[in-house]
Amino acid sequence: MVSARKILLAFSLLACACVVAVAQPSGRSERPQGPPDSDEQRIADLVSASRILVNEGVLDRFGHVTVRSLKNPTHYFMPRAMPPGLVTASDIVELDANSVAIDPNAPRTNGERFIHGEIYRVRPDVQAVVHSHSPAVIPFSIAPGRPLRPVLHMAGFLPEKVSVFDHRNVSKDDPSLRGKLMVNNAKLGAALAKTLGGDSVVLIRGHGNAVVGASLPWAVFRAVYTHLNARTQMEAITLGADVIYLNEDELKMHTVEVFDVERPWQNLKSRLPKM
């Protein structure tokens, strides 16, 4: 049922995979231009992204956001293991396609870096990944009869029903993985990426979620609205009535082609407290 939409989305994402600043159709000339893309700019944005996600309540104690390298597109940048609200540019580590730090003396990064590395491996359209433990979202990962679904006008990027990754589906055939709730090796990361498929978001049972985007602004925007959508859907269910979900037409409006993510990105950045 969602396949037509997914294909459209995949095309549009691929179309801009290497360009953050998408050319604007003539009618949208008022949009502020982002700075030129470069690894320096991506690292600066990664610091903003970490702080925005804390400021908006998506990341609390833990969680991490990463960005693909423009220069070495199999590599990605990740903060060292630390509270995400305190990240600065000097905390960023470059990791290779196997999630190993390029610099052998680099500080330790989070053990769950494989969530990011294995998604980058199979999703060339993805330039940025957020892994959060957003408390509004986790209940949907442990209540199988109640999938997370798009209800908010800003959440049209969500698939019609968000998939849930459960390590038990992997570990049932591999005793070495039994009980592994952390996605802290390549095999589990690859299985997670497979569950994500071509979607924008995947839940991790009892643990959190991963959100991807064609740029850091996209991934951050989606992580914020995944969180808000979950809270709203839960409260609507509390009202004890049928819930109205977004329909096909509405879901189509949230591709990178028709929605300008630079605006909420600038807005979210300007809300950051002074450092």
Q: Is 124 in the site for a second copy (CB under 8 A)?
A: no
Choose among 219, 20, 203, 47: nearest CA to 130.
219
The total of other beta-carbon atoms located within 10 Å of residue 14's CB is 13
Choice from 161, 187, 194, 205 touching a second copy (CB under 8 A) = 205
Choice from 27, 36, 104, 179 touching a second copy (CB under 8 A) = 179
CB-CB contact of 45 with 67 (8 Å):
yes
- From the CB of 14, what's the least distance to a second copy, in Å? 22
Choose among 68, 69, 64, 34: nearest CA to 50.
64
Q: Is 145 in the site for a second copy (CB under 8 A)?
A: yes
Q: Is 262 in the site for a second copy (CB under 8 A)?
A: no
The two structure tokens encoding residue 145: 């009869």
- From the CB of 81, what's the least distance to a second copy, in Å? 7
Query: Cα(first)–Cα(last) distance of the chain, in Å?
Result: 47
Choice from 79, 159, 217, 264 touching a second copy (CB under 8 A) = 264
Chain position carrying tokens 């953050």: 20
Residue 2, judged by CB atoms within 10 A of its CB (0-12, 13-18, 19+), counts as middle
Stretch that binds a second copy, among 92-100, 118-126, 195-203, 234-242 (CB under 8 A): 234-242
Choice from 23, 27, 61, 105 touching a second copy (CB under 8 A) = 61
Q: Is 122 in the site for a second copy (CB under 8 A)?
A: no
What is the rounded distance in angstroms from the CA atom of residue 66 to the CA atom of residue 7?
25
Choice from 11, 144, 169, 174 touching a second copy (CB under 8 A) = 144
Identify whether 56 is a catalytic site residue: no
The per-type count for the chain, helices as H runs and strands as E runs, is 9, 7
- Catalytic residue list: 112
Interface residues toward a second copy, by CB under 8 A: 30, 56, 61-62, 81-83, 85-86, 108, 135-136, 138-140, 142-146, 151-154, 156, 166, 168, 171, 178-182, 204-208, 224, 228, 231-232, 234-253, 263-264, 267-268, 270-271
